Structure 1
């Protein structure tokens, strides 16, 4: 009865919804746990068996590569006596993402999130951010757990299309295994989740965030000295992890606007329901989601005379509004002195696209001082924006089409004779622990859950006037 309700991309009704449906439609009362177990069975019917999906995976990935030539997929297994080959790791990077990465800013956000399916595991992701400040998924991997070997294997596969050079910057949530894997790869490392702060102090968190986002060293130390006065142990911790790992002013590379791993967190939230699917349905959900995103983003509206993406247009408009109060003095050809209302002066060089506030060269988007100078010089503001934010670059990033895997639902359970690899893949040894899987993300230190005002509980007798609300324990 419930199989049809779980078909498609959604997660289907929850246990309480099943209980209400059985009570309302069939006048049958069932317990919550019966509804939970029934839902597990219905998911298996609609999305395939969790155990059998691992054996179906090689055929699915072969069909995916045939439909999308240039994609990178790989399965890693380990042999166990008396059992055979058990699933260990799986990697997938679609050809459209690989080609689109050439048009991205070279900042890669990596993260891991737990799977809530029958056999648990962990989903590793690598993402970038396009010129319109949108998530651009690069690759995914399903591994047994988030450990050193799994992350090292993931970065090895990632290096097939992300070259190992000093231009690459990785941003993560400071998981020790990520740090170890990147250190072995000798890749530039940018880390910033510490902006969520080490202590549960909102004012301290604000100061750490302000120091981390400062463009100039003078601004950084002004705020950092205040952190020392508020909490010396926090300042010692920040120095101990390395200022270059969390402060923009000390970082040697270019991380643009990306200061946290929120890009990866956004991608994980999109896959929130799919993380409890069998592995085959999970990978197909990811492919279908990317296919939809690429098709939708190719339809970006082209305005007359518009050279940059919509999000960058908004940033330029906001900076232009703030530039009206600045005083501009010409120094030489394409060089200007800009003074704000507080009397601080800045040196802008329009030909080199630099400003002594360092925001211009850090974001590659004109700051308020550069816009004021460009207005004085009668230069188009959008001509000063870096090419990575242009509409032509954005269009090229999504030019490749992601094709569907036709009739993937009809893939039959493989035998050792017709398996692509000639090996039957058994389910992993790990299983989901007992109890209800956790849905909400565990907050980092210093993060606070935003909630609405707490509702006052009033019993029915108080509402009817049968109780004295001043002494009623329920009302209190």
Structure 2
């Protein structure tokens, strides 16, 4: 009836409401519009028994339609626009929809609450999503042979199991890793749902310089415990070896986790993050440019040429780079093979690809990632097939 009132631009009042009966009247003082409805026996639905459709109310009496535009009603109207393909229209888009399609202005707060309800009804309730996660992961592992799935919970004082950590790597990623260069880029991005948390990612680069996702984790935050747990599960996909290289930002928790779980692997810093640190900490002109040139130099002599220029401009910056360790940020001093991967841009691009799903319930998040990867890999296989290269 609220949808009917919004469409026909009038306001009604509930004059009688009983468990099995309801009567609605138009808000106009001399209007004849009436609806009488009664509950159908043995059914939760109501049936309209009598209706007087003629309106005699004035334009002024038909105002204040927003009373019928409740958050529940708007959420029901918008639910079809929310699915696994993304987070759907944002609150401002909901306001625009109500204003343009129904001539009803609503506040941002009401649009936000309606957006939350539409998300719950379109993608599932957040709490229910966590309860459904174990059975979903079981089906995921069955339908994707070779996948690595791990779920860890904690027990509360009331003996209730609560979600703690999640790791998943699809079978296609596990199998495809053996054909990649052993350079792994890891990074984390914040989730924006009701319970927040962080999405951790590990990815590499295929022969066509495209993102090749390896594993994903959902944890409470970027701390030493969560990164250590993530790397312990990543071992099932990427074995620890002397030819494995990790490229990360300079987060202490990542360093600690790698030292524990990947003692053989090499570890180097993202040049872009180092560049940003230099810009923030040292304000001298051309300094960050020289740091980038030194980091990317192939020969040791070229490295020291740029590094001596850095020392002449700002000795404090040179001391900072020495403390970081030449072998950690410069290509010429690095003991492993990092190839062309000097930054963590691959991980940043992967984070951007899943940005739409960062505020959806956890099952919808995993399903979004699965759908995205299952869309990428067939397209790449087809493109490789056209070149005559075996896949």
TM range (shorter): 0.7 to 0.9
Deviates more, 1:264-273 or 1:180-189: 180-189
- Aligned structure 1 segments of 4 or more residues deviating by more than 3 angstroms: none
Does the CA-based 8 Å contact 1:195-1:212 persist in structure 2? no
Which residue does 1:238 correspond to in 2?
A: 321
* 1:258-306 superposed Cα distances (whole Å, 9 cap, x missing partner): 0111110000000111011100000000000000000110111567xx7
Does the CA-based 8 Å contact 2:84-2:367 persist in structure 1? no
Give distance in 2, aligned partners of 1:57 and 1:10: 19
Give distance in 2, aligned partners of 1:8 and 1:108: 28
Q: 2:258 aligns with which of 176, 182, 185?
A: 182
CA 1:232–1:89 in 2, change beyond 3 Å: closer, same or farther?
A: same
Does the CA-based 8 Å contact 2:266-2:335 persist in structure 1? no
1:173 matched to 2:249? The reply is yes
SS at match of 2:155: strand
Does the CA-based 8 Å contact 2:189-2:199 persist in structure 1? yes
Aligned ranges 1:391-406 → 2 under 5 Å = 392=389, 395-396=390-391
* 1:395-426 superposed Cα distances (whole Å, 9 cap, x missing partner): 53xxxxxxxxxxxxxxxxxxxxxxxxxxxxxx
CA RMSD across the alignment: 1.4
Give distance in 1, aligned partners of 2:159 and 2:95: 39
Cα deviation, residue 196, structure 1: 3.2
Aligned ranges 1:212-291 → 2 under 5 Å = 212-291=295-374
1:150 matched to 2:230? The reply is no
Does the CA-based 8 Å contact 1:126-1:264 persist in structure 2? yes
SS at match of 1:300: helix
Which residue does 2:28 correspond to in 1?
A: none
Cα deviation, residue 83, structure 1: 5.5
Give distance in 1, aligned partners of 2:238 and 2:139: 24
Unpaired runs of 5+ in structure 2? 1-76
Which residue does 2:209 correspond to in 1?
A: 133
Cα deviation, residue 179, structure 1: 0.2
SS at match of 1:59: helix
* 1:303-338 superposed Cα distances (whole Å, 9 cap, x missing partner): 7xx7xxxxxxxxxxxxxxxxxxxxxxxxxxxxxxxx
Does the CA-based 8 Å contact 1:199-1:234 persist in structure 2? no
Give distance in 1, aligned partners of 2:251 and 2:277: 15
* 1:211-247 superposed Cα distances (whole Å, 9 cap, x missing partner): 0000000100000011111111111111101111100
The TM-score, its normalising length taken from structure 2, stands at 0.76
Larger Rg: 2
Does the CA-based 8 Å contact 1:196-1:209 persist in structure 2? no
Q: 2:106 aligns with which of 4, 21, 30?
A: 30
Deviates more, 1:270-279 or 1:21-30: 21-30
1:196 matched to 2:293? The reply is no
1:91 matched to 2:91? The reply is no
Give distance in 1, aligned partners of 2:266 and 2:134: 34
Q: Which has the higher strand share?
A: 2
Aligned ranges 1:351-430 → 2 under 5 Å = 392=389, 395-396=390-391
Does the CA-based 8 Å contact 2:84-2:368 persist in structure 1? no
Which residue does 2:195 correspond to in 1?
A: 119
Cα deviation, residue 54, structure 1: 0.7
1:72 matched to 2:152? The reply is no
* 1:17-44 superposed Cα distances (whole Å, 9 cap, x missing partner): 1111111211211101110111011001
Give distance in 2, aligned partners of 1:302 and 1:285: 26
Give distance in 2, aligned partners of 1:301 and 1:97: 17
Give distance in 2, aligned partners of 1:83 and 1:52: 19
Give distance in 2, aligned partners of 1:80 and 1:301: 51
Between Structure 1 and Structure 2, how many residues are aligned? Answer: 308
Which residue does 2:95 correspond to in 1?
A: 19
Which residue does 1:320 correspond to in 2?
A: none
